């Protein structure tokens, strides 16, 4: 290990602590701003209906073993018969729904707002850090790392002789960016963490076809093996009672 | 902080173990409680490690110790019948492990820098 650098205490007081505090506060601010900007849109009745049908079919699938075979068969036919079952989708409608999704400007607008509320504060903070604090060592991680991490931890310092465990201020910003996620989920509740995953789902779900999930649900309902659980429950009750008695 | 209330208790299926008799929402709630408590503990542990001035391996050993203690505590909270709250042991032991590691490293570094290197 190379000889220890002597760092000025002013760096701690005016860089390290303010940078971390600002990161936390900006995270909180972003949370509340995105909460304010979130627009409530009236969901389309058809889409809600399809979603509810899928939920019902899923419930039937997970609880299938608790009802008699006859009841299960009746319900399955109700959901998936080829003429008027709830999960059966006529051929022509698939295209229609997708086109409707794309033509809805509200959704694209909402997504853009969410993305902007994510990107703008990050860009601003990064510019701020770059402008004021670029080019000096701000912190030191308490464990040794290999040379490969140099570009990650000493972003903005072009010295190859400094020990790798010293962290430049710009890289401290990145460390904060990733490491504070846990803290945010604690102080802001689950909604903050949920937001990210929901955004991901919306991203991948753009131009997503609800009829596809209907037919997927239908297929999985069709192939399910029904096995009534009640006969086995006598044995289970026997076991439980035996345990109680003994 | 992070109240250890596993509110939803699921019916355990001992005789008919192949039957899935738990509710997904309660399971999710339990997982959330675990995630919160482990994140909180990893942050607190990071600050402790930083203030005590642990370096290198010692800090990670402290992290593993804290995680092990939290796992044992959660299992004790579940009255040692893990299967009535979770579907498998890995949920308690490994969940939130790496997300917690990141917070741990950050707060470890932060406290260590403030106290020791300047």
Q: pLDDT per residue over B52-76, tens digit each?
A: 988 888 999 999 899 888 888 888 8
Q: Are residues A7 and A168 in contact, defined by beta-carbon separation less than 8 angstroms? A: no
The pLDDT assigned to B4 comes to 42
Residue B83, burial from CB neighbour count under 10 angstroms (0-12, 13-18, 19+): middle
Residue A88 has pLDDT above 90, yes or no: no
Q: Do A240 and B13 touch (CB under 8 A)?
A: no
Backbone angles phi, psi at B34, to 5 degrees: -65, -45
Q: Does A225 touch chain B (CB under 8 A)?
A: no
Q: pLDDT per residue over A122-178, tens digit each?
A: 888 889 888 888 877 888 888 888 887 887 778 777 777 777 888 888 888 888 888
Question: Residue A185 falls within a domain, yes or no?
Answer: yes
Q: Which two tokens stand for residue A39?
A: 């627009």
B interface residues, A as partner, C-beta within 8 Å? 1-2, 13-16, 19-20, 32, 35-36, 39-40, 42-43, 49-50, 53-57, 59-60, 99-100, 102-103, 105-110, 112-114, 117-118
Q: Which residues 71-130 of chain A have a CB within 8 Å of chain B?
A: none
- Residue B13 to residues A219, A238, B8, B77, Cα–Cα distance (Å): 29, 13, 15, 20
A11 — alpha (psi -120 to 50), left (phi > 0) or beta? alpha
Question: Residue A4 falls within a domain, yes or no?
Answer: no
The pLDDT assigned to A3 comes to 60
CA-CA distance, B22 to B16, in Å (whole number)? 13
Q: pLDDT per residue over A49-81, tens digit each?
A: 877 888 888 888 887 888 888 888 888 888 887
Q: Are residues A147 and B60 in contact, defined by beta-carbon separation less than 8 angstroms? A: no
The pLDDT assigned to B15 comes to 37
Q: Do B59 and A16 touch (CB under 8 A)?
A: no
Q: Which domain holds residue A210?
A: 9-245
Question: Residue A3 falls within a domain, yes or no?
Answer: no
CA-CA distance, A137 to A7, in Å (whole number)? 8
- In angstroms, the separation between the Cα of residue A8 and the nearest Cα of chain B is 6
List the single residue in A with minimal CA-CA distance to B40: A186
Q: Which two tokens stand for residue A92?
A: 């022509």
Test mutation, A15, A23, A136, A143, chain B, max B CBs within 10 A: A143
- Closest in B16, B36, B56 to A186, CB measured: B36
Question: Residue A137 falls within a domain, yes or no?
Answer: yes
Q: What mean pLDDT value characterizes chain A?
A: 77
pLDDT-derived band at B11, boundaries 50, 70, 90: very low
Q: Does A18 touch chain B (CB under 8 A)?
A: no
Question: Residue B49 falls within a domain, yes or no?
Answer: yes
- Chain A contacts of B70, Cβ < 8 Å? none
- Closest in A4, A140, A182 to B103, CB measured: A182
Q: Are residues A165 and A141 in contact, defined by beta-carbon separation less than 8 angstroms? A: yes
Question: Residue B69 falls within a domain, yes or no?
Answer: yes
The pLDDT assigned to A1 comes to 45
Q: Do B103 and A232 touch (CB under 8 A)?
A: no
CA triple A12-A16-A22, angle to 5 deg: 135
Beta bridge partners of A168: A137
Q: Number of Cβ pairs closer than 8 Å across A and B?
A: 96
DSSP codes, A139-196: EE-SS---GGGHHHHSTT---SSS-TTEEEHHHHHHHHHHHTHHHHHHHS-HHHHHHH
The pLDDT assigned to B79 comes to 78
Question: Residue B15 falls within a domain, yes or no?
Answer: no
Dihedral, A106, A109, A110, A111 alpha carbons, nearest 10: 130
List the single residue in B with minimal CA-CA distance to A181: B103
Q: Do A143 and B36 touch (CB under 8 A)?
A: no
Of A73, A56, A173, the closest CA to residue A122 belongs to A173
Q: Are residues B111 and A140 in contact, defined by beta-carbon separation less than 8 angstroms? A: no
Q: Which domain holds residue B56?
A: 24-117
Taking only Cα atoms into account, the Rg of chain B, rounded to an integer number of angstroms, comes to 17
Q: Which two tokens stand for residue B68?
A: 């092990």
CA-CA distance, A125 to A120, in Å (whole number)? 9
The pLDDT assigned to B27 comes to 81
């Amino acid at each position: 290990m190379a000889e220890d650098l002597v760092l000025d205490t002013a760096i701690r007081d005016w860089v390290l602590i303010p940078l971390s505090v600002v990161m936390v506060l900006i995270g909180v601010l972003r949370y509340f701003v995105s909460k304010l900007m979130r627009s409530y849109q009236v969901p389309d009745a058809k889409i809600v209906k399809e979603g509810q049908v899928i939920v019902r079919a899923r419930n039937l699938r997970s609880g299938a073993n608790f009802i008699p075979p006859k009841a299960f068969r009746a319900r399955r036919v109700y959901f998936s018969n080829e003429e008027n079952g709830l999960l059966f989708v006529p051929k022509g409608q698939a295209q229609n729904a997708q086109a409707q999704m794309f033509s809805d400007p509200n959704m694209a607008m909402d997504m853009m707002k969410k993305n902007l509320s994510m990107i703008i504060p990050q860009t601003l903070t990064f510019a701020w850090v770059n402008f004021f604090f670029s080019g000096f060592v701000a912190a030191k991680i308490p464990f040794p790392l290999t040379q490969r991490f140099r570009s990650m931890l000493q972003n903005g310092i072009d010295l190859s002789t400094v020990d790798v465990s010293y962290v430049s201020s710009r890289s401290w910003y990145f460390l904060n960016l990733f490491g504070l996620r846990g803290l945010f989920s604690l102080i802001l509740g689950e909604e903050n963490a949920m937001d990210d995953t929901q955004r991901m789902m919306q991203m991948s779900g753009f131009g997503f076809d609800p009829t596809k999930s209907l037919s997927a649900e239908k297929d999985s309902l069709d192939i399910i093996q029904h096995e009534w659980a009640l006969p086995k429950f006598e044995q289970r009750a026997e076991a439980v009672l035996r345990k109680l008695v003994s | 902080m992070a109240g250890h209330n596993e509110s939803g208790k699921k019916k355990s299926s001992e005789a008919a173990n192949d039957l899935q008799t738990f509710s997904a929402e309660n399971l999710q709630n339990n997982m959330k409680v675990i995630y919160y408590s482990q994140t909180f503990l990893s942050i607190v542990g990071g600050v402790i490690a930083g203030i005590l001035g642990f370096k290198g391996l010692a800090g990670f050993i402290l992290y593993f110790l804290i995680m092990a203690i939290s796992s044992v505590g959660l299992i004790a909270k579940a009255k040692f019948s893990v299967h009535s709250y979770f579907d498998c042991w890995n949920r308690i032991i490994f969940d939130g492990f790496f997300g917690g590691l990141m917070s741990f490293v950050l707060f470890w570094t932060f406290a260590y820098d403030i106290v020791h290197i300047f």
